[in-house]
Amino acid sequence: MVERLQIRRLAQAGFVLRGDGTTLVIDPFLSPRPDRLVPPAVSPSELSGVDAILATHEHRDHLDLAALPGLIAASPGAKIIVPAPIVDRVSDVAGPNAIPAAVDREIAVGAARIVPVPALHGVTMADAYSFGQELSGGLVRYLGYVIELGGVRVYHAGDTIAYDGMAQRLRDLRVDLALMPINGRTAERESRGLVGNLGHTEAADLVAEAGIPALIPMHHDTIEGNTGSVAELRAYVAARHPDLRVIEVAPFADAAWPS
């Protein structure tokens, strides 16, 4: 029987997943920033009892180094899971709890099973859009995570665009629910150094091709000048992928799956 997975969205790409007595926090962005449209409503000290904190890559809105000491103080035993090429960014504060993540190398945390998968992104526009291997001794620098917890397989895409074989990889991992960026990318934003993401049509097409039944949009409502439209996502899905379920979770709100 499938358990009920508790999901809390923080902001941007941040989520808390709870199930089977295990709590994971993914990409928590908890620090103030002048261009935030949604101010932090949760302090690091409030996220206690966490078993692992995962970051998909090094950008501040995914790996919030300013908030990390407070998160660790609230959950001293938490594993800090980051892509292997950037594990040195967290090792000073996380010590032996710093865990390097590599593609397809499963990580167990409590009842959770975590499979890192590649993301196609970039530190800057100079290396976009890539897996970051040229910067990282051949290792993939940008990740997503497929997390099995509470009988549910959740894909957190991190920051990414589509790449060859991506949908089949996710299909093979039998994902139930996808957490997907929909802010897209434009020449204007890229000229400002903003490495982009899947847009709403690309995210929906990818999820449908991968046979994933439900999608929660993310990375669309937190940073000024780098947003996306859930309304446009819903309209596109209704027209093109009517069997795909779109679940909107407001920042700092709770949901559950299945629901």
Annotated domain spans of the chain: 5-249
Could you tell me which residues come within 8 angstroms of residue 76 by beta carbon, excluding any fewer than 6 positions away?
none
pLDDT class of 3 with cuts at 50, 70, 90: low
218: alpha, beta or left, given left = phi > 0 and alpha = psi -120 to 50? beta
Mean pLDDT of the region 1-24: 90
The model's pTM is 0.97
pLDDT of residue 1: 36
Range 5-249: architecture per CATH: 4-Layer Sandwich (3.60)
Q: Which residues of 138-173 are buried (b: 16+ CB within 10 A; e: fewer)?
A: ebbbbbbbbbbbbbbbbbbbbbbbeeeebbebbeeb
pLDDT of residue 107: 98
Residue 2 has pLDDT above 70, yes or no: no
Task: Share the mean pLDDT of the chain.
Answer: 96
The CA angle 158-244-23, to the nearest 5 degrees, is: 45
pLDDT class of 259 with cuts at 50, 70, 90: confident
Over the stretch 221-250, which tens digit does the pLDDT of each residue have?
Answer: 999 999 999 999 999 999 999 999 999 999
Q: At residue 9, what are phi and psi to the nearest 5 degrees?
A: -95, 130
pLDDT of residue 9: 96
Mean pLDDT of the region 156-179: 98
Q: Partners of 216 in the beta sheet?
A: 179
pLDDT class of 41 with cuts at 50, 70, 90: confident
53: alpha, beta or left, given left = phi > 0 and alpha = psi -120 to 50? beta
Question: Where is pLDDT greater, at 230 or 252?
Answer: 230
Over the stretch 189-217, which tens digit does the pLDDT of each residue have?
Answer: 999 999 999 999 999 999 999 999 999 99
